[in-house]
């Protein structure tokens, strides 16, 4: 870790020296908790974002009027890519949609150019963007997050006692704001929360914003445990849905740190692409199986878009290890990250 804020440089990482200890601890907690949630022989779902609302076809179009300094990697050439998008709830235990939760938007772009960073997917023509409906995260670093996860994977009472410790009041405050109700996943704002390179020495965050020209029809229906899927089905049966896709450039490494995702960056969002989700029927057995088995990782990326910060470094190892663990537990079922 840098000795003081004045040492921070744009687009640079400052890893904790004890980072691996907390990564190992989270892997152990996740394995134990998933074994409790899914008996032997039962297909084991993801620990985070197991409940899927829909896995939809989409088009990701890189604009032709991007500022030259932003024409890096995927954004270098104006082009329309085919993609799939998975919308989900974050809670590890599948629950009714009316419960407060975190919602996810995971984009998988096909035929993306360049060699990918993961060795076992180096030649894969994909680029993933993983976002949630919060601009900032609940924990400052992986040490703090490990404490939350360690308590959460044991019991609700353990988590409550952890958060009521005066030393953890700031985490409690962020957690209370982090989970919220959602009316329609196709009408929500999504953020990467963590930063990524955009070429050497420059960090950015990603943001997807609805561009439908007004609220989409849909209600919070407490009688329907899966009303977010219901609302998606109703909308995509009659119309296309559009999101604008932005980058947010780190302009000050001290006030917009790479390693602390609880800090909201204050630079402008710059539109670099648009996303069109065409009218479609997606609630089929085949598509649902595809979405359940789909593997997403911020490391499905080229070096120009390398994930940055402690949470992304932890994701690289945790996603890989837990994917293999779920596959083994599920006895041959394919499971995504």
Q: What is the pTM of this model?
A: 0.90
Does some domain include residue 255? yes
Does some domain include residue 115? yes
Write the CATH number for 24: 2.40.180.10
Does some domain include residue 337? no
d(CA 252, CA 75): 23
Q: Are 135 and 94 in contact (CB under 8 A)?
A: no
Most confident range (mean pLDDT) of 5-19, 30-44, 213-227 is: 213-227
Q: Which two tokens stand for residue 117?
A: 């960073």
Helix axis angle, 142-152 to 156-163, nearest 10°: 140
- For the cut 70, the answer to whether the pLDDT of residue 151 exceeds it is yes
In total, how many domains does the chain have? 1
Does some domain include residue 270? yes
The 10 Å Cβ neighbour count of residue 264 is 11
Q: Taking Cα atoms as reference points, which of 138, 56, 145 lies closest to residue 101?
A: 138
Overall average pLDDT of the 90-117 stretch: 92
Q: Taking Cα atoms as reference points, which of 132, 137, 140, 163 lies closest to residue 150?
A: 163
What does the pLDDT look like over 278-328, one tens digit per residue?
999 999 999 999 998 888 999 999 999 999 999 999 999 998 888 888 877
Q: Which domain holds residue 41?
A: 5-329
How would residue 39 be classed by pLDDT, with cut points 50, 70 and 90? confident
Does some domain include residue 33? yes
Q: Taking Cα atoms as reference points, which of 173, 179, 194, 184 lies closest to residue 128?
A: 194
Does some domain include residue 335? no
- Residues in Cβ contact with 29 at an 8 Å cutoff, skipping those fewer than 6 apart: 146, 149, 150, 153
How would residue 330 be classed by pLDDT, with cut points 50, 70 and 90? low
Overall average pLDDT of the 11-29 stretch: 93
Does some domain include residue 24? yes
Which range (91-100, 144-153, 201-210, 275-284) has the least confidence? Answer: 144-153
Does some domain include residue 336? no
Q: Which two tokens stand for residue 153?
A: 């994977």
- Give the per-residue pLDDT at 6: 63
């Amino acid at each position: 870790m840098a000795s003081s804020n004045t040492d921070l440089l744009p687009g640079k990482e400052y890893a904790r020296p004890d980072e691996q200890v907390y990564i190992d601890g989270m892997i152990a907690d996740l394995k134990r908790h998933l074994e409790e949630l899914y008996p032997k022989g039962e297909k084991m779902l993801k620990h985070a974002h197991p409940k899927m609302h829909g896995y939809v076809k989409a088009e990701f179009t890189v604009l032709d009027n991007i500022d030259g300094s932003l024409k890096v990697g995927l954004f270098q050439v104006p082009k329309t890519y085919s993609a799939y998008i998975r919308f989900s709830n974050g809670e590890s235990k599948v629950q009714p949609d009316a419960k407060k939760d975190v919602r996810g938007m995971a984009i998988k772009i096909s035929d993306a150019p360049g060699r990918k960073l993961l060795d076992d997917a180096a030649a894969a023509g994909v680029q993933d963007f993983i976002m949630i409906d919060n601009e900032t995260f609940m924990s400052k670093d992986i040490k703090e997050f490990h404490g939350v996860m360690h308590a959460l994977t044991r019991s609700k009472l353990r988590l409550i006692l952890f958060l009521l410790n005066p030393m953890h009041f700031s985490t409690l405050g962020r957690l209370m704001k982090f989970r919220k109700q959602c009316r329609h996943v196709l009408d929500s704002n999504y953020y990467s929360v963590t930063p990524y390179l955009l070429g050497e020495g420059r960090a950015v965050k990603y943001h997807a914003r609805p561009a439908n020209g007004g609220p989409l029809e849909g209600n919070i229906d407490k009688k329907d445990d899966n009303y977010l899927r219901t609302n998606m089905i109703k909308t995509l049966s009659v119309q296309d849905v559009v999101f604008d896709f932005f980058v947010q450039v780190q302009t000050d490494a001290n006030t917009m740190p790479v390693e602390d995702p609880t800090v909201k960056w204050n630079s402008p969002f710059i539109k670099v692409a648009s996303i069109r989700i065409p009218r479609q029927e997606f609630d089929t057995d085949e598509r649902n199986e595809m979405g359940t088995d789909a593997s997403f990782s911020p490391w499905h990326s080229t070096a120009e878009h390398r994930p940055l910060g402690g949470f992304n470094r932890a994701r690289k190892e945790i996603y890989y290890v837990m994917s293999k663990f779920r596959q083994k537990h599920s006895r041959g079922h394919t499971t995504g990250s």
